[in-house]
Amino acid sequence: MFSIVGVLVVFGCVIGGFLMDKGKLGVLIQPAELVIIFGAAVGTVLTANPIHILKGIVSGLIGVLKGSPFTKKRYIETLKMLFDLLARARKEGAIAIEADVEEPDKSPTFSKYPAFLKDHHALHFVCDTLRMAITGGVNPFDVDQMMELDMDTHHHSAAAPSASLTTMADSLPGLGIVAAVLGIVVTMGSLGGPPEAIGEKVAAALVGTFLGILLCYGMIGPIASYMSKIVDEEHNYYSVLRVVLLAFIKGTAPIMAVEMGRRAIPGHVRPTFAEVEKACRDKGDAPAA
């Protein structure tokens, strides 16, 4: 939501300053220039990226409008869910959560946390890791290596859409020059006509350069940057899952494993010890010793 506000501030200040300088707003309305610049930019993205990255760009843009999902509330719910699951495994044995891991959609524990259940990659990340712990015979170091590999692979894939959008933003000033050159070509064909008509065509050509630079640095570039930050926040989220799961696999008590995960949460969304403890105890389960 704040991204929309930011874009509106950029365009509002640019246009407002132009009007304060006694500029005519109608001069900036050049549909042909916009079609050349933005259409060509979209075409380069379609040419350079496979379909799964294009879908990722659309999903990323929707994510920018909604804002980051990795809030303090999301972290508290995740830590509570992990505590519920791990505490049961500690009390009843790892085999007690086998059904939850194998069929998470039917799990009474996971079903209480629909936001986590909808995050398919995070769900599989937890279930696949716990499956290793249930089967036994796997060294914690090897499990950690598998989680790290999974995280790095997912992070690389998740970062591709924002990188592609950044490339699109970088191309916009050049495409603005292309639009301006085409405008000059049109202008040269009108030489000998009324000075007012020639002036309008030159103005239209210059608007092409203006739009290319403005869209790059005032809209597409910042949006791509915000998409990249959401990807980094998602990576931090998986780091917390990794810390909790690895601590439990090493034999740490669930409440301590959750506390270790809480310490790994970025400071601006990190809940307090009391908030996490209250969330875990609200379930009615005493911390496993």
The pLDDT assigned to 120 comes to: 92
pLDDT tens sequence for the chain (289 residues): 678 889 999 999 999 998 898 888 888 888 889 999 999 999 999 999 999 999 999 999 999 988 889 999 999 999 999 999 999 998 888 888 999 999 999 998 899 999 899 999 999 999 999 998 888 778 899 999 999 999 999 999 999 999 999 999 999 999 999 999 998 888 887 777 787 778 888 888 899 999 999 999 999 999 999 999 999 999 999 999 999 999 999 999 999 999 999 999 999 999 999 999 999 987 544 433 3
Single out the residue of 212, 211, 207, 213 nearest to residue 186, CA to CA: 207
Sequence-ordered alpha helix ranges (H) in 136-272: 140-188, 195-215, 221-249, 254-263
Contact in structure between 78 and 43 (CB atoms under 8 Å): no
CA angle 62, 66, 70 (to 5 degrees): 110
Residue 227 carries which side chain, given as an amino acid letter? M
Residues 6+ apart with CB under 8 A from 130: 85, 89, 94, 97, 101, 245
DSSP state of 219: I
HSE, side-chain direction, 13 A CA sphere, residue 39: 9
Residue 254 carries which side chain, given as an amino acid letter? P
pTM of the model: 0.87
Residues 6+ apart with CB under 8 A from 8: none
Contact in structure between 222 and 60 (CB atoms under 8 Å): no
Tell the residue number behind the tokens 């630079």, with chain if given.
213
Residues 6+ apart with CB under 8 A from 230: 60, 63, 64, 68, 70
The pLDDT assigned to 124 comes to: 94
Give the number of other CB atoms < 10 A from CB of residue 249.
Answer: 21
Contact in structure between 191 and 209 (CB atoms under 8 Å): no
